[in-house]
Amino acid sequence: MNSENNTNGFEPKIVGFLCNWCAYSGADLAGVSRIKSSPNIRIIRTMCSGRVDPSFILEAFKRGADGVLVAGCHFGDCHYLEGNFKTIRRIEFIKMILNQFGINEKRVRLEWISASEAEKYAKVSFEFTDEIKKLGPLKLFRNERG
């Protein structure tokens, strides 16, 4: 899998919040099975995708991320039963707010990836990296005067 439009050698920094029971295990399986996935994703394991507070996403962008991936269990599979329902609502809401903040909501992506879906994880990781490459680096104004 290759990326097109790699102008100026821009390598996106993407933070991936993956839930312990499904998505993280899926990514782990990809690794163990020698299935290549995008090195641009820096993975942070949370116990549930519902643990991902909207402020984590904003904090990731503030600290230099160009994209944020949030991945959890399919509906019905959540280890904590309903955590992923909260996730989908939070992500929709934060995307809407990001737009209002003038940040392209495509920089946030939500996926449901089970523990056995190693291939899916790999595919999503490359797709998302490509998409962020097209969007370009996120340059934020902060603390500028004048």
Partner 1 sequence: MAKPKLALYWAASCGGCEITILDIEEKILDVAEFFDIVFWPCAMDFKYSDIESMDDNSIDITLFNGAIRNDENEHIAKLLRRKSKLLIAFGSCASEGCIPGLANLFTKEDIFDFVYKSSPSLEDDSKGIFPVTSTQHTEGETTLPKFWNTVHTLDQIVDVDYYIPGCPPQSFQVAAVILAVIEILKTGKELPPKGSVLGTDSKTCCDECPRVRKEKKIKEFFRPHEIIPKEDECLLDQGILCMGPATRSGCGALCVKANVPCRGCYGPPPNVKDQGAKMISALSSVIDATTPEEIRKILDKIADPIGTLYRFSLAASLLQRKQNDVK
Where do contacts with partner 1 occur on this chain (CB under 8 A)?
53-55, 57-59, 61-62, 75, 85-86, 88-90, 92-94, 96-97, 99-104, 107, 135, 138-146
Minimum Å distance from CB 44 to partner 1? 17
Largest Cα span, the chain: 53
DSSP state of 47: S
In angstroms, give the least distance from the CB of 5 to partner 1.
Answer: 17
Nearest distance in Å: CB 86, partner 1: 6
DSSP-derived secondary structure for 64-117: T-SEEEEEEPPTT--TTSSHHHHHHHHHHHHHHHHHHTT--GGGEEEEE--TT-
**Nearest distance from C-beta of residue 30 to partner 1, angstroms:** 26
Nearer to partner 1, 30 or 48 (CB): 48
CB of 47 vs partner 1, minimal distance in Å: 16
Residue 43 carries which side chain, given as an amino acid letter?
A: I
Residues in the chain: 146
- Between 23 and 65, CB nearer to partner 1: 65
Helix axes 54-62, 83-100, angle to 10 degrees: 40
Cβ proximity to partner 1: between 36 and 62 the closer is 62
What φ, ψ does residue 27 adopt, rounded to 5°? Answer: -65, -40
Q: In terms of CB distance, is 81 or 140 closer to partner 1?
A: 140
Cβ closest to partner 1, residue 35 vs residue 134: 134
